[in-house]
Amino acid sequence: MPGWLHVQSRRLQLLARPRRPEALPVTLDRHRIYVLPTGFGLFLGTLLAVMLLGALNYNNNPALLLALVLATSALASALHAHLQLSSLRLRALSAEPVTAGQPLRLRLALARDDHRPRRGLQLSYGTASACVDLLQGEQVEADLWLPTERRGWLPLQRIRLSTLQPLGLVRAWGWVWPATPVLVYPAPERNAPPLPDTGDRGTHTRPDPLGDDLQQLRPYRHGDARRAIAWKHSARRDSLLVREHERATGNELLLDWHALGPLPHEHRIARLARWVDDAEREGRRYRLLLPGQPALGPSSGDAHRHQCLRALALMPAA
């Protein structure tokens, strides 16, 4: 029976708006906000119906007045719950990529088009949920932690915004369906072998303005950056001198897809992902070669790591 109820609930969700992914920002209007009584609300409704019947049967005016006042309060709370979500806007969402198997932090930016405070808002996505309040600020951020299972683009499903405010008699909710997938890196191999030996053990250098080692001082030339001027040495020589830096280029790693021929397709991706992390951890420069794609690198750093892991995550399935 629980499985049947879950299937029926999923079918009803397909009838709710929106029926397809939509671009952000998204505003909840009256056409996409739904209101139904909670269990406590149904109990109160039954109690008020009994009170009304009893008051009419015995011609008890105070009881009739009390029942009508309580019914009016319940209807007002339903209207207030609807207004809690009305004109609520999901401006943007973002997520930093994580490796498959780790929870992904989805950050949602909520705002409002009016000055009414919003309290007790709940965002839910599957088993993940978060509670936020929109009081004086114009925008608030909420975090949802989503489970990840496999690499590649993770298409987002419906995100529910709901509230039980102010009295918990009704639940008002609406759906947003962002058309913004998030990226999941491949899970690295757990017990991978050491980084491959490329055979290049010599260390060479080349001029590089972003290098770490000072190569020489030379006279200033038109177009040189001001930050490269050696002011102390220039003061002693009465002429502008410029620092020239160099960067070591030897011992660059080659991470080649075709060199892992005996391994299965997904196993190759996991090993290359581990080697990319190991190369970054050791501060090595590396080049990644994948079939059907231009070589990535040689380079290092967060941007290069993201570029390589993104290429591995988006590799077609075997």
pLDDT tens per residue across span 110-124: 998 788 888 889 999
Other Cβ atoms within 10 Å of 133 Cβ, number: 13
Residue closest to 171 by CA, chosen among 21, 35, 27, 24:
35
Average pLDDT over residues 81-96: 92
Give the confidence band of 271 by pLDDT, cuts at 50, 70, 90.
very high
pLDDT(165) > 70: yes
Identify the residue with better confidence: 266 or 220: 266
Q: What is the mean pLDDT of the chain?
A: 86
pLDDT(301) > 60: yes
Report pLDDT for 239.
79
Report pLDDT for 215.
54
Average pLDDT over residues 262-285: 93
Identify the residue with better confidence: 260 or 206: 260
Identify the residue with better confidence: 117 or 43: 43
Average pLDDT over residues 81-109: 93
Beta bridge partners of 123: 130, 161
Report pLDDT for 107.
95
- CA 27 to chain centroid, in Å, comes to 19
Alpha-carbon distance 156 to 21, whole Å? Answer: 9
How does pLDDT run across 219-246, given as a tens digit for each residue?
A: 877 767 777 787 777 777 777 877 776 5
Which position has the token pair 């001001």? 226
173-207 burial by CB neighbour count: b if 16+ within 10 A, else e? Answer: bbbbbbebebbbbbbbbeebeebeeeeeeeeeeee
Report pLDDT for 2.
59
Report pLDDT for 81.
94
Give Cβ neighbours of residue 250 (< 8 Å, ≥ 6 apart).
200, 201, 202, 203, 204
Contact 176, 158 (CB under 8 A): yes
Average pLDDT over residues 287-297: 92
Contact 179, 23 (CB under 8 A): yes
Report pLDDT for 227.
73
Average pLDDT over residues 158-182: 93
